[in-house]
Chain A
Amino acid sequence: MEQDVSAGADTFPKLLVRNARRFGGRPAMRHKDLGIWQSWTWAQVLDNVRAYAVGLHKLGLKHGDAIAIVGANRPKLYWTVMAAQALGAIPVPVYADAVADELAFVLAHAEVRFAALEDQEQVDKVLSVQERLPKLEEMFYDEPRGLRDYDHARLHNIDDIITAGRDAMAKDASLGQWIDEQIANGKGSDVSIILYTSGTTGQSKGVVLTGERSIKATTDTVLFDHLNETDVSLAYLPLAWVGDHYLNYAQGLVAGFCMACPESSDTTAQDLREIGPTFYFAPPRTFEQMLTRVMIRMEDASRLKRRMFHYFIGVARKYGEDILNKKPVPLGGRILYGIGRFLVYEPLKNVLGLSKVRTAYTAGEAIGPELFAFYRSIGLNLKQLYGQTEAFLYLTAQPDGEIYSDTVGPACPNVDIRIAENGEVLFKSPGMFTGYFKDDAKTAEVLTDDGYVKTGDAGFFDEKTGHLKIIDRAKDVGKLNDGTLFPPKYIENKLKFYPNIREVVAYGDGRDFVTVMLNIDLTAVGSWAERNNVVYASYQELAGHPRVYEMLKSHVEEVNRSLAAETMMAGAQIRRFLILHKELDADDGELTRTQKVRRGFIAERYGPLIKALYDGSTEADISTEVTFEDGRKGVISARVKVVDAKTVPVGGALEKAA
């Protein structure tokens, strides 16, 4: 049974047929509509998809044609994917929030003949760019609202197509047989789907995936996380993202579990509570927002509840992770944790809709250790994974019981990972893409001569745990003069996890050693100052306070110790640092609008400070122009202290740095 999860099926429609036979009466999909959860069993889904496929066939959809799918997570859009795959056509999902221009690019590039759209908004978007889409023939919609007066010559309600297909099959029994043959004869080496990357780094590229490879990759992780037909997931991630296609669609079909579609994107939190998924994925930011919501609501709770909450969260922090990792814990701790579980942890998880979660993953960016530990400590099996569209998601994932906040886990079963000379992570995996659609040049660019794929991320394997650590984008990783790798973001993130530190800019590329410029977090340091009778009149004064310097120095040295523990990073310890006299601000061009530091620009603007960091002087004068909120400009001048931090010699004790 274990090895049999995909039953030799090499396309998703074949799995659908298998599920209808094996789990026919079990729910395959749910969708909240008009306030009520509607369910479809696997048998019903198969029935609808067959009818839908016949309907699409009648409209002219053929093997190899591309069909775009634009919209939120709705059953009929997932059926479109299935029906297209049943006919050997290629579904091309597009982000629902893509602007018309991006949409036009993808639709034109993929040469779609058909487009399944969620509602009037998407139909309008496609109509507004239709002159750029000469190949587009027919459009389908799920939500008829507002579309009544549109010309329906090329516009169809998905319901009507399904009904037409069903009627045709009722009239002509051979059609039913025909579609079953189409499914049975589907080839695993055919293109299963084209997923367009979101295009944050240039024009988006169409990642071509085949059924056979997709299913192989999925089978591995389904076994890895012991997923089966009794699991439930909430399909709330963007339909066009590899995460949704993998975690919900592919895993759902392979394991036979039920995916629930939320009522609307605004109701996800409530739907999560109602559905109680057993498998859950969210980016770190979502976990952070959830925790913030809880903390705010706890502030408003009665005193008794508040004290109980904080006490038991303290207990959880002490014992929770060990209990989850099945490590020895004293009996007293176990008993306290048991009480806490009854009084706090379970009710809390229930409010968040996470009570039933067996496996939760997070990925996408670095997660703060505190945040990660919080969810782990209340008994949520939160793990990290690392992957990308080109690999059909998973490359590494943390196995149960081997969880660290700063790693992404060992390579998944059958995934081969290699670290290149420049630190870039290379892989070969069962789910690997076959290439970028119509872009052999780009495909060749990311492939090595021996067939590995370049991820564009730099990382290394941690000796202690054997897990992969992702440190930065490969193109951002620099080198110190002695050849040590210098991943700025990795160092910056380590510092940013201290609440006192708001922003960090690290320098070291082409230099002898690493230095950082810090921004204090006014809220955190301000409240510390209040508690410790530190008087200050301005941000500038607080930032320059000797005791603040002392405090941040201890943070920097702590980071140095943790860097020293990693062979690859030991040479990249921070020798000198300074605290900036003003907050880095997007209005001054120092941060991007998404709050990322612009290292090069800052280096130019604060030239004298960079010079001081490297020439050994203990202070430097700087004056910078600032833009006030009303647009006026002014100049801030300051004398900024530069401080040495202790570094740890590789494999030795603390030593005073030069």
Chain B
Amino acid sequence: MKAPPDRRAAIGDVLLSVEGVSLAFGGVRAINGVSFDIRKGEIRAIIGPNGAGKTSMLNVINGFYHPQHGRITFRGKTRSKMRPYEAAEGGIARTFQNLALFRGMSALDNIMAGRSLKMNSSFFWQMLRYGPAMTEEVEHRKKVEEIIDFLKIQDIRRVPVGRLPYGLQKRVELGRALAMEPELLLLDEPMAGMNIEEKEDMSRFVLDVNEYFGTTVALIEHDMGVVMDLSDRVVVLDHGEKIADGTPDEVKSNQAVIDAYLGVAH
């Protein structure tokens, strides 16, 4: 009865592409001439062994790191480097490998913080909580409540994030990223440290985000089962270089990838 999930039909043009990007910290080459693209509406996985440069790649995309070489094209605009505010305003949101939440604030306030870019009223009015600022806050609160409903975290709305278990903190962080209504969502190991049930929940959320909000997702993940199930295309990095790019099946059978993961006799 369920229609065949023809998600590929919904996948459109290139949303973001990186070309020949290289990044070095002093003498250490983190990324070496990597090129790939992310299409609108797809779930794109970036995988690779430890130290392959995956997180660095995400940091380049949202402007935390500035690459020495190469170009980044986002929504048709080409830059040699991204700046964090350009990324944020352009609709790129992310979550972090080691949570970066405001631990003393409630789940609700943390997600509300994700709306700050969308607030128009001035600091002065917001401080007074009066007039247009009030109307605006109500609008934003509504959006935030939709996200809370979406992620099924109604019961922890008022709980300080620091008191929540890890799996729920991850969910709140995803909520904050979603609050930006991003076009491109970068997830850095969204399932690290989770048990199977939490992983399944999180996978469902990632798929739902992609389907429900039409958000393009780029994720780094170590759990191969998750990666192969979720993603439309996978790019594999090893020692800062791209060694494979393609559908999960293509990547799985790629000899270079197998060598990178299992090691190879020299």
**A interface residue numbers (CB < 8 A to B):** 32-36, 127, 130, 145-146, 148-151, 153-155, 263-264, 266-267, 270
Those 8 A-B pairs whose CB atoms lie nearest each other, nearest first: A266-B155, A34-B145, A35-B145, A267-B155, A263-B154, A151-B1, A264-B154, A267-B154
Interface residues on B, range: 10 to 19
| Interface assignment of B223: CB less than 8 Å from any CB of chain A | no
How distant is the Cα of A130 from the Cα of B2 in the complex, in angstroms?
12
Please, which residues of chain A bring their CB within 8 A of the CB of B155?
Answer: 263-264, 266-267, 270
CB within 8 Å for A149 and B149 given contacts A34-B142, A266-B155: no
Please, which residues of chain A bring their CB within 8 A of the CB of B141?
Answer: 35
CB within 8 Å for A35 and B154 given contacts A145-B208, A145-B212, A148-B211: yes
Can you name 18 extra interface pairs (CB under 8 A) apart from A34-B149, A148-B212, A150-B2?
A32-B154, A34-B142, A34-B148, A35-B141, A35-B148, A36-B145, A127-B2, A130-B1, A149-B3, A149-B211, A150-B1, A150-B3, A151-B3, A263-B155, A264-B152, A264-B155, A267-B154, A270-B158
Task: Find residues 1-53 in chain B having any chain A CB closer than 8 Å to their own CB.
Answer: 1-3, 5
| Interface assignment of B200: CB less than 8 Å from any CB of chain A | no
How distant is the Cα of A527 from the Cα of B21 in the complex, in angstroms?
67
Tell me the smallest distance from the CB of B32 to a CB of chain A, in Å.
40
Q: From A269, which residue of chain B is reached at the shortest CB distance?
A: B155
How distant is the Cα of A263 from the Cα of B154 in the complex, in angstroms?
7
Q: From A144, which residue of chain B is reached at the shortest CB distance?
A: B212
How distant is the Cα of A146 from the Cα of B145 in the complex, in angstroms?
18
Q: Evaluate contact between A34 and B208: CB separation under 8 angstroms.
A: no
| Interface assignment of B239: CB less than 8 Å from any CB of chain A | no
Tell me the smallest distance from the CB of A351 to a CB of chain B, in Å.
14
Tell me the smallest distance from the CB of B208 to a CB of chain A, in Å.
6
Please, which residues of chain B bring their CB within 8 A of the CB of A127?
Answer: 1-2
| Interface assignment of B157: CB less than 8 Å from any CB of chain A | yes
Q: Which of B145, B154, B211, B212 has the most CB of A within 10 A?
A: B154
How distant is the Cα of A33 from the Cα of B148 in the complex, in angstroms?
11
Please, which residues of chain A bring their CB within 8 A of the CB of B142?
Answer: 34
| Interface assignment of B150: CB less than 8 Å from any CB of chain A | yes
Of B1, B3, B157, the contact of A35 (CB 8 Å cutoff): B157
| Interface assignment of B146: CB less than 8 Å from any CB of chain A | yes
Q: Evaluate contact between B1 and A266: CB separation under 8 angstroms.
A: no
Q: From A36, which residue of chain B is reached at the shortest CB distance?
A: B145
Q: Which of A34, A145, A150, A264 has the most CB of B within 10 A?
A: A34
Q: From A143, which residue of chain B is reached at the shortest CB distance?
A: B149
Tell me the smallest distance from the CB of B52 to a CB of chain A, in Å.
34
Please, which residues of chain A bring their CB within 8 A of the CB of B212?
Answer: 145-146, 148
How distant is the Cα of A34 from the Cα of B144 in the complex, in angstroms?
9
Tell me the smallest distance from the CB of A216 to a CB of chain B, in Å.
39
Q: Evaluate contact between B146 and A34: CB separation under 8 angstroms.
A: yes
Q: Evaluate contact between B3 and A266: CB separation under 8 angstroms.
A: no
How distant is the Cα of A208 from the Cα of B60 in the complex, in angstroms?
66
How distant is the Cα of A150 from the Cα of B3 in the complex, in angstroms?
5
Q: List 21 A-B contacts (CB under 8 A).
A: A32-B154, A33-B149, A34-B148, A35-B157, A36-B145, A127-B1, A127-B2, A130-B1, A145-B208, A146-B211, A146-B212, A148-B211, A149-B3, A149-B5, A149-B211, A150-B1, A150-B3, A151-B3, A263-B155, A264-B155, A270-B155
Q: From A264, which residue of chain B is reached at the shortest CB distance?
A: B154
How distant is the Cα of A33 from the Cα of B212 in the complex, in angstroms?
19
Please, which residues of chain A bring their CB within 8 A of the CB of B211?
Answer: 146, 148-149
How distant is the Cα of A33 from the Cα of B145 in the complex, in angstroms?
9
Please, which residues of chain B bring their CB within 8 A of the CB of A146?
Answer: 208, 211-212
Task: Find residues 124-158 in chain B having any chain A CB closer than 8 Å to their own CB.
Answer: 141-142, 145-146, 148-150, 152, 154-155, 157-158
Q: Evaluate contact between B1 and A154: CB separation under 8 angstroms.
A: yes
Please, which residues of chain A bring their CB within 8 A of the CB of B2?
Answer: 127, 149-151
Tell me the smallest distance from the CB of B209 to a CB of chain A, in Å.
11
CB within 8 Å for A266 and B150 given contacts A146-B208, A150-B2: no
How distant is the Cα of A607 from the Cα of B19 in the complex, in angstroms?
80
Please, which residues of chain B bring their CB within 8 A of the CB of A155?
Answer: 1
How distant is the Cα of A155 from the Cα of B1 in the complex, in angstroms?
10
Q: From B4, which residue of chain A is reached at the shortest CB distance?
A: A149
